[in-house]
Amino acid sequence: MFVEKMLQSQGFGSRKHCQQLIKSGAVAINGEIVDSAKLKLDLQQLQFSVHGQDYQYREKVYIALNKPQNYECSHQATHHFSVFDFFDDILMNRGIQCVGRLDQDTTGLLLLTDDGQFLQALTHPKKHVPKVYRMQTADPIRDEQLQQLEQGVELRNETGTFAATDVTRLAEHELSMAIHQGVYHQVKRMLAAVGNKVETLHRQQVGQLALTELAEGEWIYLNEAQIMAAKNMPNIAFASI
């Protein structure tokens, strides 16, 4: 791939702008300033710099963010911040999107990508990728509520029933469970359907990828094993970040 095309693919702007960056001496490959936009590159393990800042070539990006409260998963956040505020223009130019949505008051594991196939694989209703949530509830969690959640509940304006797995009471007002679809406000509506109310909600895990170390507001690029774990591929090891 030509260096101008490579820069464009990584979010550095139009082809013209990338040509200008090269012409101005801002681009280096393996420490050597590039002077030709038509230099052909081997993309394997490619490292480059623009204005002295180092980058690694990535065909697609897969990002995990530990989302804080008061951030919306929309570009034009109305009353809060946007989760896209965490990312620079170069990543935004790549067209990263949220893989499913978390409510503004929900914290925890949020994936973002510019890979449409990955997004489909995780959000398509037929794929049933499990998502594990931990929550605090307004009222004490009763045994029959646990059973109802496991058996499945109906939600207004949705077809079928919605059941959770791995429903575990962690404390009188604290519960964790996995859901396998992703309809609007699903967890909050399921808890309301059994007569309780979610007070705080945290996503702990997507597929086999669990959030453990990443601090609130921090994000990382996922490696190959973590991407496979998030996709819930069979025989893939559990991964944590």
Catalytic residues: 103
Helix (H, G, I), strand (E, B) or coil at 188: helix
Nearer to ligand URA, 201 or 206 (CB): 201
* CB neighbour class for 73 (10 Å; exposed up to 12, middle 13-18, buried from 19): buried
Q: How far is the CB of 187 from ligand URA (least distance, A)?
A: 3
Helix (H, G, I), strand (E, B) or coil at 174: strand
187 touches ligand URA by CB under 6 A = yes
Q: Which stretch binds ligand URA (CB under 6 A): 113-121, 169-177, 179-187, 221-229?
A: 179-187
Q: How far is the CB of 176 from ligand URA (least distance, A)?
A: 13
Q: How far is the CB of 183 from ligand URA (least distance, A)?
A: 8
Q: How far is the CB of 110 from ligand URA (least distance, A)?
A: 9
Beta strands 53-56 and 198-206, pairing class: unpaired
186 touches ligand URA by CB under 6 A = yes
Buried b (16+ CB within 10 A) or exposed e, 202-222: bbbbbbbbbbeebeeeebeeb
| C-beta separation of 29 from 22 below 8 A | no
Candidate residues 67, 94, 134, 188; the one interacting with ligand URA per rule CB under 6 A = 188
| C-beta separation of 5 from 15 below 8 A | yes
Q: Between residue 84 and residue 123, which ones bind ligand URA under the rule CB under 6 A? A: 102-103, 106
- The footprint of ligand URA (CB under 6 A) covers 102-103, 106, 185-188, 201
